[in-house]
Amino acid sequence: MNTETAIFASGCFWGTQFYFQKAPGVISTTVGYIGGTKENPTYQEVCTGKTGHAEATEITYDPSETSYENLVKLFYETHDPGQMNRQGPDIGTQYRSAIFYQNDEQKEIAEKITEQLKAKGHTVVTEITKAGPFYKAENYHQQYYTKGGGTPYCHSYTKKF
């Protein structure tokens, strides 16, 4: 099977993962840290805001069943991209809205969808940044809502496209 990877940060990674793991064509999701300066950061270190990392979700998907464009749209529809360095009650740079692209094609798609959203009158502060190393978060963060039940407290779905 041919697979591709996408990485999105949209506040608490538990809520981001909650929506992406259910999306058609998604094979797997992993929560972790990206965009910072420290190798192999811990959750406690990221929470200080001093490492520069964002809480993010890495999505492995089948491009014959869904597209990167569909994933970018879902990303924007499951959080408020107009909130700077926060999402709901979670505040700090680790909760920023960001798309970490893998290649030029992903960058172009992310920029195109972002412009479409802005043209619809939405405020967007989302960073579009080349992906660097992604560090898997501790096991207790993986599949948080699947293991513990419940639903995200700072993410919800709102149709925007």
Helix (H, G, I), strand (E, B) or coil at 51: coil
Q: List the beta bridge partners of residue 94.
A: none
Q: Quick check: helix, strand or coil at residue 57?
A: strand
Could you give the count of Cα atoms lying within 13 Å of 76 in the half-sphere of its Cβ? 27
Residue 104 to residue 101: CA distance in whole angstroms = 8
Indicate if 154 belongs to the active site.
no
Q: d(Cα 47, Cα 11) in Å, to the nearest integer?
A: 12
Single-letter code of the amino acid located at 122: H
Annotated catalytic residue: which of 6, 7, 9, 12? 12
Dist CA 20 CA 99 (whole Å): 14
Active-site positions read 12
